[in-house]
Amino acid sequence: MKFALGAALAGTLALSMTPAYAQDEPIKVGILHSLSGTMAISETTLKDTMLFLIEQQNAKGGLLGRQLEPVVVDIASDWPLAAEKARELLTVNEVDAVFGCWTSVCRKSVLPVFEELNGLLFYPVQYEGEESQRNVFYTGASPNQQAIPAVDYLRDEEGVERWVLAGTDYVYPQTTNKILEQYLLDAGVAPEDIMINYTPFGHSDWQTIVSEIKAFGSEGKKTAVVSTINGDANVPFYRELANQGIAAEDIPVVAFSVGEEELSGFDTTPLVGHLAAWNYFMSVETPENEEFITAWHEFIGSEDRVTNDPMEAHYIGFNLWVKAVEAAGSTDPDAVIDSIVGLETPNLTGGIATMLPNHHVTKPVLIGEIQDDGQFFVVWETEDLVPGDAWSDFLPESAMLEADWTAPINCGNYNTQTQTCGGSEVASAN
């Protein structure tokens, strides 16, 4: 009897201690970025940003009474490796959420892993759209929040009539340029006034391509380059533009993947006057941005380190995840997915970012002109926040699609004409 009573008491004590023990366990946050290879120029600072945000949250007491523990991996600009590392984060490290990737080929490589294992990925970079997955939150810009407004600005404000769509040879530039080409054709631009060019990651010999751009822009019509060139290939590209005497007033370049971090790596003198389209610039003067920059410099130990748009996207995504976990009272992926839609958090430009049912967020759109100090002077911005579209209105095959991960639709590519879901519904993701 004493043995039975003792065993029962021990079991009771063990059960009562288990929640307390679990409560002491840290909440693990995966950081999935390239810290080496061609994309390290852009992604290393995003790893630092996540460490910064996690430290700030821990200083506030953590989350659900628990500290956050970062788990950092280097995907080395290797997309199959990214999928392996994502699986490792979810199954071995047992992280509760992952913040990572830059390129769309990285995101598409890891997406099946997050779908299979029901993990959460917060993706912080502008992308081509044409996607909405239940387990992914797209906190960077979709084309209607960057590419389309940039073209509108060049056409309406700069009088551009000829277009060079230059990109790195992978899914983001290809799909974005497909959207832009159709948008321009629909707007009455002649096919011969559109030039499209792709180069590999890390491309360094730009002499021939820049010569072709120069010739294309010398036929009497105002010409601009819309650049989806990614990573360290940008350095020799801009250098060759300067070598061939192509100034911003002659053929302006508007870039979608060149921000403050990339500019800090080389002499910006030849780039002065060229443009970039983002949803945030370090130079924006708001109390929120000033506070963020001050805290960032204190954390990183240098006032020379810049901030940029994908950093703000991580800031937005991280804060929305924190709010969703607090609202759900749990880090469980299904609970977070159910609670995050409709949540709001301040952005750094003075507005509010709202998580939409399609897992995209609301953003302002800004056009910045490169200055000689590597910063941007904002020359244009949207009057209102722009909701991110998962599916482009300008492609016939996707114009009728919408994404909505709330009941009763619960679908990433819902056909509004046939009222059917063409992809994995929420039921198949659980």
Please report the pLDDT score of residue 23 as a whole number: 64
Which residue would you say has higher pLDDT here, 258 or 331? Answer: 331
pLDDT digit string (tens) for 79-96? Answer: 999 999 999 999 999 999
For residue 77, being part of any structural domain is answered with yes
For residue 19, being part of any structural domain is answered with no
**Whether residue 116 is found in the same domain as residue 217:** no
Peptide bond into 408 cis (omega under 30): yes
**Whether residue 196 is found in the same domain as residue 103:** no
What's the mean pLDDT in 401-418?
96
How far apart CA 414 and CA 403 sit, in angstroms, is 6
Q: Which amino acid is at 334?
A: D
Residue 50, CB-side half-sphere exposure with 13 Å CA sphere: 28
CATH of the domain at 200: 3.40.50.2300
- With 0-12 CB in 10 A as exposed, 13-18 as middle and 19+ as buried, what is 114? buried
Please report the pLDDT score of residue 430 as a whole number: 28
**Whether residue 245 is found in the same domain as residue 371:** yes
pLDDT digit string (tens) for 97-110? Answer: 999 999 999 999 99
Please report the pLDDT score of residue 315 as a whole number: 98
pLDDT digit string (tens) for 131-141? Answer: 999 999 999 99
**Whether residue 303 is found in the same domain as residue 188:** no
Confidence of residue 427 (pLDDT cuts 50, 70, 90): very low
Instruction: Confirm if 101 and 107 have CB atoms less than 8 A apart.
Output: yes
Is the pLDDT at 313 greater than 50? The verdict is yes
For residue 14, being part of any structural domain is answered with no
CA angle 316, 29, 89 (to 5 degrees): 125
* Structure tokens that stand for 390 in this block: 């998962």
Integer-rounded Cα Rg, in Å, for the chain is: 23
**Whether residue 43 is found in the same domain as residue 131:** yes
Please report the pLDDT score of residue 22 as a whole number: 56
For residue 393, being part of any structural domain is answered with no
Is the pLDDT at 423 greater than 90? The verdict is no
**Whether residue 242 is found in the same domain as residue 383:** yes
Query: Across 55-157, where does the E strand assignment appear?
Result: 68-74, 97-100, 121-123, 136-138
pLDDT digit string (tens) for 7-19? Answer: 444 444 434 433 4
pLDDT digit string (tens) for 168-223? Answer: 999 999 999 999 999 999 999 999 999 999 999 999 999 999 999 999 999 999 99
Is the pLDDT at 54 greater than 60? The verdict is yes
pLDDT digit string (tens) for 350-386? Answer: 999 999 999 999 999 999 999 999 999 999 999 999 9
CA angle 423, 323, 427 (to 5 degrees): 25
Instruction: Confirm if 176 and 128 have CB atoms less than 8 A apart.
Output: yes
How far apart CA 163 and CA 278 sit, in angstroms, is 19
* Structure tokens that stand for 115 in this block: 């779908």
pLDDT digit string (tens) for 208-261? Answer: 999 999 999 999 999 999 999 988 888 899 999 999 999 999 999 999 989 998
Instruction: Confirm if 123 and 110 have CB atoms less than 8 A apart.
Output: no
Locus of tokens 């120029």 = 41
List Cβ neighbours of 397 (8 Å cut-off, separation of 6 or more).
none
**Whether residue 241 is found in the same domain as residue 372:** yes
Is the pLDDT at 264 greater than 90? The verdict is no
For residue 9, being part of any structural domain is answered with no
Range list of H helices, 267-350: 287-300, 309-328, 333-340
Q: What range defines the domain where residue 247 resides?
A: 144-284+367-387
Q: What percent of the chain has pLDDT over 70?
A: 93
Please report the pLDDT score of residue 7 as a whole number: 42
Looking at the 3D structure of the chain, how many domains does it have? 3
Please report the pLDDT score of residue 9 as a whole number: 40
How far apart CA 28 and CA 134 sit, in angstroms, is 21
For residue 59, being part of any structural domain is answered with yes
For residue 18, being part of any structural domain is answered with no
Range list of H helices, 25-39: none
**Whether residue 57 is found in the same domain as residue 137:** yes
**Whether residue 72 is found in the same domain as residue 85:** yes
What's the mean pLDDT in 291-316?
97
Instruction: Confirm if 371 and 385 have CB atoms less than 8 A apart.
Output: no
CA angle 225, 180, 368 (to 5 degrees): 50
How far apart CA 398 and CA 156 sit, in angstroms, is 26
- pTM over 0.85, yes/no: yes
**Whether residue 85 is found in the same domain as residue 121:** yes
For residue 15, being part of any structural domain is answered with no
**Whether residue 267 is found in the same domain as residue 292:** no
If you average pLDDT over every residue of the chain, what do you get? 92
Is the pLDDT at 265 greater than 90? The verdict is no
**Whether residue 186 is found in the same domain as residue 213:** yes
